[in-house]
Structures are given as structure tokens and as C-alpha cells.
């Protein structure tokens, strides 16, 4: 191996490393911009709302929840159609369970 070949190989490795770092920086900026963070939050909320399959009268389901968890208030159990993620967030804060567990619990009622 000559000195010229060694310099050429080192230059290629350095150039490839710099290109990879540049691509990584651009991807990071795109993924963590405010707009993309908001879009991901909306998608998570949409998934929660789609996962909720509340069947029957909400007042009956609310009474069952109050019996099981006596510290829940009417305000905690306020449900608006299409805003299920807000209900799940309030229950998560009060019950200390994961969102997935709360959705399963609500669907089981």
C-alpha cells in the first residue's frame, strides 16, 4: 500500500462520516420540529380515541367506575365524544395507570 492510497482511503472515510452526520442532523431537525411534534401528538390522541370502544350508556359506565374507584369525581369522568384522550389523561393522572391499561379497562366495562 502506498502513501497515496492511504490518503485517498482516509479522505473517503472522513467524507462519508461528515455526510452521515449531516444527514443525521437534517433528519433530527425534521423529526423534532414543532409541527412534527404536534402531528405526532395528534396521531397519539387519534389512536387513543379510536381504541376506545365505549358501548352502552356513559352514565352507567361512569357509575361503575365510581363504585370501583371512589375517589373519582364527576369532573374526572366527563366524556365528550371525540375527546376520549382527555378522559384517558385525567384517569391516568388520578389512577396512576398507563394509558393502554386505562383504555382496556374502559373497553371492558
This prediction has a pTM of 0.60
Q: How many CB atoms lie within 10 A of CB 40?
A: 12
- What pLDDT does residue 84 have? 86
Residue among 108, 49, 54 at smallest CA distance from 84: 49
Tell me the pLDDT tens digit for each residue of 26-62: 888 777 778 878 888 888 877 887 788 877 788 888 8
Residue 80 pLDDT grade (very low, low, confident, very high; cuts 50, 70, 90): confident
Give residues with Cβ within 8 angstroms of 86, minimum separation 6.
80
Name the DSSP letter for residue 33.
Answer: S
Amino acid at each position: 500500500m502506498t502513501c497515496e492510497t492511504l490518503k485517498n482511503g482516509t479522505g473517503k472515510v472522513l467524507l462519508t462520516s461528515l455526510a452521515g452526520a449531516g444527514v443525521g442532523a437534517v433528519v433530527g431537525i425534521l423529526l423534532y420540529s414543532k409541527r412534527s411534534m404536534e402531528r405526532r401528538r395528534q396521531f397519539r390522541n387519534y389512536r387513543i380515541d379510536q381504541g376506545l370502544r365505549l358501548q352502552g350508556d356513559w352514565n352507567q359506565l361512569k357509575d361503575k367506575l365510581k363504585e370501583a374507584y371512589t375517589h373519582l369525581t364527576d369532573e374526572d369522568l366527563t366524556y365528550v365524544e371525540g375527546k376520549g384522550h382527555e378522559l384517558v389523561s385525567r384517569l391516568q393522572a388520578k389512577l396512576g395507570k398507563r394509558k393502554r391499561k386505562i383504555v382496556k379497562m374502559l373497553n371492558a366495562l
